[in-house]
Amino acid sequence: MYAEQVHGLKDLVSASVCVLTQSTFVESAESLLASTKGPFILAGTAYGGCLAMEVLARCPDRVHGIWLMNCQPGVHPNPDVARATSQRIRSGEHERVIAEFAEHAIPSQDVVSRAAFVQMARDTGAEVFARQSDATLTRSDHWPTLAASRIPTLLVWGDADRFVPVSVGRRIATLIPHARFVSLEGCGHFPTLERPSLCTELARRWLVESALG
């Protein structure tokens, strides 16, 4: 998901990628905070973006910049759907759920990104997918968190995402002073996977001009 950025930005930042699967977003946020010392810059896509907002809410003094992509600041709009998804994954429909998710997340013409996502989901495994689906039920309303934030913020949104519309990213941009918002035409739910070089370029510019200043 972030291989291009880890490599392409190594002269600016020492990056690490975390996959957290605790039962709640609060527990995952606490685990991340306990695993690192001092201030840091956070990047998160979709589920990871929701987790990044939870970290920001719990320890704003340590977050010196945040890069969010195609994530939803509100509570889960349909808990029954999340519960049903978790149940399907655990009952042997992992492959089918992956295929459905890929169809909604990534435009059909981008066969390379779809294939990469499907393989990543398989490699990560059914239980991680199900645990993260469960955890979405614990998502807090972080619109107030974002409205209170004054840190450097980069918002990169795929405008073809069928899960989190680009209007959500635009709304976040109106809340945070000097937030930098970029909409990627024809891109879906995973900008760093679907537009890796462009995302690295956008992140580099933002880091140099804002987050590392």
- Say how far residue 135 (Cα) sits from the centre of its chain: 14
Q: Take residue 167 and report the two structure tokens written for it.
A: 């209007």
Q: Take residue 162 and report the two structure tokens written for it.
A: 């069928």
pLDDT band at 137 (very low <50, low <70, confident <90, very high): very high
Q: What is the predicted pLDDT for the residue at 47?
A: 96
The domains located in the chain, with CATH, are 3-76+138-211 (3.40.50.1820), 79-133 (no CATH)
Indicate whether 213 pLDDT > 80.
no
CA distance 141 to 21: 20
pLDDT band at 206 (very low <50, low <70, confident <90, very high): very high
Q: Take residue 40 and report the two structure tokens written for it.
A: 């840091």
Of 8, 17, 49, nearest in space to 204 by CA: 8
Q: The sheet that has 153-158: what strands, in order across it?
A: 40-45, 63-69, 153-158, 180-184
- Reported as a single tens digit per residue, the pLDDT across 59-114 is 999 999 999 999 999 999 999 999 999 999 999 999 999 999 999 999 999 999 99
The pTM of the whole model exceeds 0.75: yes
